[in-house]
Structure 1
Amino acid sequence: MTTITPCKPSLTTNDSAVLQALFDAESSPSSAPVIDASLSSLPAHLNISPEQHDSLKSAELDIVRTLEQPEPSLSMVQQAIRDLDLLIIEAPTYPSAYINRAQARRLLIDLTPLPTSASSTPSSDPDTKLFAAANSASASALLADLTQAIQLAHPRSPADPVSPGQARILADAYTHRGYLLLKAARFRQAQGEGGPERLEGMGAQQLEEMASSDFFMGGRFGNKVAQQLAVQTNPYAKMCGAIVKEALRKEVASSVMNS
């Protein structure tokens, strides 16, 4: 007589790896970039020599320092953006300048008063000022700067190693853009419409998925906050979490009925 011994269901190695990637913010995909400290700060395809990089970095730092004070004025921010515009004209393949111009644009939005007609924008969350109709073009330019920095700094092949400086640029740009996309998703969900011109036609769910993708990439390049946010916004993790919650709810309800 054959005896059948019941066994507990088990996950395959592949299933376990998928769940680990979904729920563990510290897990890293096999295609994670190799960070090589021996490489030049900027990739060769940008055609910026080490000497030119040093000069650009010095000029950029001088511009950024004008904004490193508790309350920079609107005119100071506008001047910093103009100076960064000139730096980008001089070196259009210098990715760091685009990131700093994006930061300056965001500060400009914060400091620029909204027209009276736009005063209905929620004031409880300062970030929603980014999505006021009056700031649509500025917010689109901000997103465009972050996208340009990513495109310039990205390795040509996923297998190519990156320098620590290159990884930092990508981590910062991806994380900042992901944050803005997530804010845009929340705003679109609450308001139904509005936001940067660059995001027109995109729904809240699409924007959140784009944000999750950016957080994932930011995490791959070393940003710890992005790693955590990638897990929280991952649509598959959220779906699995909802399934687990529903199963627990039914189990609790069944226990109460049978008690």
Structure 2
Amino acid sequence: MATTIHPSKPALTSNDSQVLQALFDAESSPSSSAVQIDPSLPALPATLNISAEDHTTLKNRELAIIQILQSSPTTETIETAISNLSTLITEFPNYPSAYVNRAQALRLLIESTSQSETETADPLFAPQNTQPSSTLFSDLTTAITLATPSSPTTPVSTAQARILSDAHTHRGYILLKGAKSRRTPSFGEQAGPDALKGMGADQLEEMASRDFFFGGQYGNEIARQLAVQTNPYAKMCGAIVKEALRKEVEGA
């Protein structure tokens, strides 16, 4: 009597499923869930202990600082903006938006005072800029920590989403610049922000991809596109497809 063989169903672990999902959906993330943005929520979460009145005052002060900076972005006005934002942060250390804007001002200062024409890597990762780039990266991380909800399923306000979108996207940009600099022979793994010392190019690029993913989830379309381009699983899948096509062409 013939024996009937019933093929068993392949058993995939949860991690295998997550990896396969990432392979075929470059915008997916193994540990992510859809972000819920609720315009009816207060601008900042109650955990930050910033009242609506204080928030209005802070926004007005912050806007005045940024307007002066935008109207005349000289080294002097950039330094003044950084100083004024630092005062704001000292008075209200739980106000995430000030950290995001100080990070932006620090980047402007680094780029405006660097001799980028004679450097072989991004000035943010030049040895002489370690201190300001470290503060810049720390500011973005602090803003993300303050604004991120306690649970992935907790809705965020429109203002909160904007802060997280800007901070994740900017930090992703720094990490991607770091990965490029790491691949430049004259800049080693000790260059750049202190928090990134010793990290290699591939690690920084993977971290950038994750930040771009969240930047996209919170509303930044450019970050969403960059998340796809830097997704390590998507790159691996692309490389496999290219190799298969190459072999097919050679065989033909």
Q: Distance in 2 between matches of 1:239 and 1:113?
A: 36
Unaligned runs of 5+ in 1: 1-11
Could you list the per-position Cα deviations for residues 186-230 of structure 1 after superposition, in whole angstroms to 9, with x for gaps in the alignment?
A: 110123512233211100011011101111111111111111111
For 2:24 and 2:86, the matched residues in 1 are separated by: 41
Shift of 1:237: 0.8
Question: Which letter maps to 1:88?
Answer: I
Among candidates 186, 200, 203, match of residue 206 of structure 1: 203
Hey, what's the Cα distance between the residues in 2 that align with 1:65 and 1:58? 10
State the percentage of identical aligned residues.
Answer: 60
Q: TM-score, normalised by structure 2?
A: 0.86
The answer to whether the 8 A contact 2:114-2:123 is kept is no
Match of 1:6 in 2: none
Deviation at 1:113, TM superposition (A): 4.3
For structure 1, which segment, 27-36 or 101-110, has the greater mean C-alpha deviation from structure 2 after superposition?
27-36
TM-score scaled to structure 1, two decimals? 0.84
Shift of 1:21: 4.9
8 A Cα contact 2:22 2:29, kept in partner = yes
| Distance in 1 between residues matched to 2:224 and 2:123, nearest whole Å | 26
- Secondary structure of 1:31's partner? coil
- Kindly report structure 1 stretches of 4+ aligned residues shifted beyond 3 Å: 14-30
For the pair 1:109 / 2:106, whether they are aligned, the reply is no
> Is this contact kept in 2: 1:136–1:196, CA < 8 A?
yes
Q: What's 2:214 paired with?
A: 217
Q: Which residue of 1 aligns with 2:157?
A: 163
Amino acid in structure 2 at the alignment position of 1:200: K
Instruction: Give the conservation status (yes or no) of the 8 Å contact 1:84–1:97.
Output: yes
**2:184 match:** 190
Distance in 2 (CA, whole Å) between partners of 1:23 and 1:179 is: 24
Alpha carbons 1:149, 1:173 under 8 Å: kept = yes
Q: What is the SS of the residue equivalent to 1:168?
A: helix
CA distance in 1, matches of 2:47, 2:145: 12
- Following superposition of structure 1 onto structure 2, how do residues 25-104 of structure 1 map, counting pairs within 5 Å? 31-69=33-71, 71-104=72-105
Structure 2: any 5+ residue segments left out of the alignment? 1-11
Segment drifting more, 188-197 vs 104-113: 188-197
Which one-letter code corresponds to 1:96 in the other structure?
A: S
Partner of 2:3: none
Report SS of the residue matched to 1:67: helix
Change (3 A) 1:156 1:16: closer
RMSD: 2.4
